[in-house]
Structure 1
Amino acid sequence: MLFGLVVVIAILLATLWALKRLSGPRGAVGQLRVLGATSVGPRERVVLVELGKKVLVLGVGQGNVRTLHVMEADELPAAPSASEGRPDFSAWLRQSVERRRS
């Protein structure tokens, strides 16, 4: 009886391993990368997401996500390095928006 239990558990683990290995990323999941986020309200955030060669500025609220802006990845201003005192994401986002307006 113990041998039968070990066989069943081994088959279950082998099946789970095979499913994990054979199921690759679906859609854009493998290409998405969150670059940063900042809170703009109690339940609202602005999120910078890299999708392939595009960068999306998304407004995320309770129950919805809206695209605020789309730009090419090379248009994205470079984030300051750690040696420059690296400000927080909200300061960097504000600075980037001001640059685009001028």
Structure 2
Amino acid sequence: MLRRFWILLGSTFPSPLLAETGKSGYAPPAPIISPDSTLQMLGGLILVLALIGGISWLLKRFSLIPVGTAGAVKVIAATAVGQRERVVVVEIANTWLVLGVAPGRVSTLHTLDKTGVNTNDEAGNGKDASSAVEFSEQLSHSIHKNHG
């Protein structure tokens, strides 16, 4: 019985002589997720997100993304006439509408038939200058009529 006790005690507390010794040149492998690799990954992610945001801002800023014209309403032209006011020419079927757009309000300034409108922009043509003056007068008259 005493012999079993000594065997149990000896197996519970192993001798350093029986223990394996580590190799002198052994270095444990680097951890897979280290602070350096985490910072590098986050830096790359931030760089890619900034690049995507910058490109989308440039495309929106310079109107390089074509506007879809598959619907029934197509914007032909738009120009700013104030800080928050715009004049927009919209095509619906065979009709062009000249709209005044302001915050909280859209009003029709003029209606044109598409078949009667010359869409060619030719410089130096006297008809273009007279039609521009005529359109300007009609637009001015419509604006004063709506505000007056």
TM (norm. structure 1) is: 0.51
Aligned CA RMSD, in angstroms, stands at: 3.0
Tell me the alpha carbon deviations over residues 18-40 of structure 1, each in whole angstroms, 9 at most, x when there is no partner: xxxxxxxxxxx821110001111
CA 1:61–1:98: 2 relative to 1, 3 Å: closer
CA displacement at 1:75 relative to structure 2: 2.1
Q: 2: CA distance between counterparts of 1:58 and 1:43? A: 14
User: Max radius of gyration: which structure?
Assistant: 2
CA 1:99–1:64: 2 relative to 1, 3 Å: closer
* Structure 2 spans left out of the alignment, 5+ residues: 1-69, 125-130, 140-148
Structure whose residues are more often strand by fraction: 1
- Structure 1 runs of 4+ off > 6 angstroms? none
CA displacement at 1:96 relative to structure 2: 6.0
Opposite residue 44 of structure 1, the aligned amino acid is: E
Answer 1 or 2: higher relative contact order, Cα 8 Å, separation at least 6.
1
Opposite residue 60 of structure 1, the aligned amino acid is: V
CA 1:61–1:95: 2 relative to 1, 3 Å: same
Identity %: 38
SS at 1:43 equivalent: coil
* Structure 1 spans left out of the alignment, 5+ residues: 1-28, 86-92
Q: 2: CA distance between counterparts of 1:30 and 1:64? A: 22
Q: 1: CA distance between counterparts of 2:103 and 2:138? A: 28
TM (norm. structure 2) is: 0.37
Structure 1 counterpart of 2:92 = 51
Q: 2: CA distance between counterparts of 1:69 and 1:100? A: 8
